[in-house]
Structures are given as structure tokens and as C-alpha cells.
Amino acid sequence: MKVLILETADTAQERVVSLIAQTMRDKPNAVLGLATGGTMLPVYEKLVALHKNGGPSFRDVTTFNLDEYVGLAPEHPQSYRSYMNDVLFGKVDINLQRTHLPRGDARNPEDEALRYEAAIAQCGGLDLQLLGLGHNGHIGFNEPTSSLKSRTRIKTLTRETRDANSRYFRADETIPTFAITMGVGTILDARHCLLLATGAQKADAVAAMIEGPLAAVCPASALQLHPKATIVIDMAAAAKLKLLDYYLHVHPDGTAREVV
Ligand code: F6R
């Protein structure tokens, strides 16, 4: 696990954008795993700005999002498909046919999960999986006690996750109870996992993910098993790390220290 600690949320987002751009430069037809949520909004904003200012093209990129709410059609304003179209896909030169999210309105969500998992494999797997972090340690919608070997499937959202996401729904709207999410095992199959967490409210989950025991109760701790996991955090999110000084020594300002 590479732990990159940046001073502010802004510089942490910039680092994530530059790592995504690097992947796209190295492999113009990269398969990117994408995330939604509040943490990612400024990331996509910066990625779009970079793209418009001579950054890498999305023309040959394929994307698979982590998750979608069961019951929401793609056109629903709170669907993750709408989120992605609004903040990224509609603003770059991506071929929409190559952007994938699970269908929340599939007649049989379980079959849809299997189809989605197979579609990722058919594209040769994920080159880079972008991840946010839930306050409870979830990645994707793999809530605490998700199997660390799980594949794409239906998960019941915790009350905490539904409360956290209620800010996006109108008061008269029902917040979905279930989601289709890539499994922890699906995520771990990505060739590079890149997680961003910012703000003091994520500090407990960050500490559990990096320094806690490998445990299904904190699904993000499964990243400890990944051969190439990059965790980008700001100082506020890093506040509860016991080995903070060590991470800052290894990667001052989130850079890679030269071996001399
Ligand atoms: C969203 C997702 C979730 C979020 C997590 C953090 O696609 O997979 O795991 O990344 O809930 O959400 P925010 O960034 O809103 O705190």
C-alpha cells in the first residue's frame, strides 16, 4: 500500500487526477473503474478541466462504475448514471457506448450483477479502479461484513449509508434500500486501485483501512492485500494514523522518494 498524504483536499484531488491522466497516457484504451459520491465531484471537475486544456483524450477509454441503486432507471436524476453523465461523460470526448454502469432498473437485478461482472472480464479487466471510502469503511457499496472475496451482486445499504446519501434526494423521495455493487474481489482484481479520502470525518475509516486488521468489518482493509494500491489522503483524513510520520517520511508531500 502506497500512502500519499497531501496537505489539503485540493492537492490530494490534484494528485488523483494526475494518476488517472498518467494511466490514460500510458494506455489510451485503458479500462477505468469509476466511483461516484461527494469526494469524486472535484476530481471529475479537475479531470474535465485538464482534458479541455490539452490533457489526455477519453476517445478510446472504456469505463465501468462501481455501483448503482436498485430501482432507479438510468434517467432518474439521482441515479449514478445521471451523476456520471452530468459530471464527466457529458463533458469529455468519451464514447457513451463504452461507459458502463449496472442497470438499476433491470427486471432481475441478480442476473444484471452477473452480466456486469462478465462484461468487465470481457473487456480484459480494469486497469485502474478509482475508489472513495465510506465512513463505515465501505468501498463500492460493500458494506461492513461483505465477503472479501465477493463479486458483483446485490447489497442492502446500511442505515448510515442511506442517511449519508439522503442529501442527494428530495424529502419526498424514497432512498433506495439496495444497490448493485462490484464485489470486494472484483475490485481487488483491478490492476491498480486508487482510493481518495478527504476530511476529518473519514479519519477513523482511513486508520482502520490502513492500520487496522484485515477484516470484513472494514471492507476497505482488503486493499492491504492488493499488490498495487495507492491511497491518497489529506492531512485531515490522515489525523488518526499511528505511523503518520513514517508515511510522510516515505513520501514527502505525497511524492515518491528517490532511492539513493
Ligand atoms: C460510490 C461509492 C461509495 C463512495 C463512498 C464515499 O460510487 O462507491 O463507496 O465512494 O460512499 O462517498 P462520499 O465521497 O460521498 O463520502
Please give the domain boundaries of the chain with CATH numbers for all domains. 2-254 (3.40.50.1360)
Q: What percentage of residues in the chain have a pLDDT greater than 90?
A: 92
pLDDT for the residue numbered 253: 85
Is-contact 128 191, C-beta < 8 A? yes
Cα 244 to Cα 122, 124, 213, 229, 251, distances in angstroms: 40, 37, 17, 17, 11
Q: What is the mean pLDDT of the chain?
A: 96
93 counts as catalytic: no
Q: Give the pLDDT confidence score for residue 2 in this predicted structure.
A: 96
Active site residue 226: no
Is 127 annotated in the active site? no
Q: With a 6 A CB cut-off, is 50 part of the ligand 1 pocket?
A: no
Q: What is the mean pLDDT of residues 144-167?
A: 95
> Is the minimum distance from the CB of 132 to ligand 1 under 6 angstroms?
yes
Could you report the per-residue pLDDT of 194-214, keeping only the tens digit for each?
Answer: 999 999 999 999 999 999 999
Give me the mean pLDDT over the 85-113 stretch: 98
Q: What's the rounded mean pLDDT across residues 62-70?
A: 98
In this predicted structure, the answer to whether residue 258 has a pLDDT above a threshold of 80 is: no
CA dihedral 51, 56, 59, 65 (to 10 degrees): -80
- Whether 15 lines ligand 1, by a CB cut-off of 6 Å, is no
- State the pTM of this model: 0.97
Calculate mean pLDDT across residues 5-28.
Answer: 98
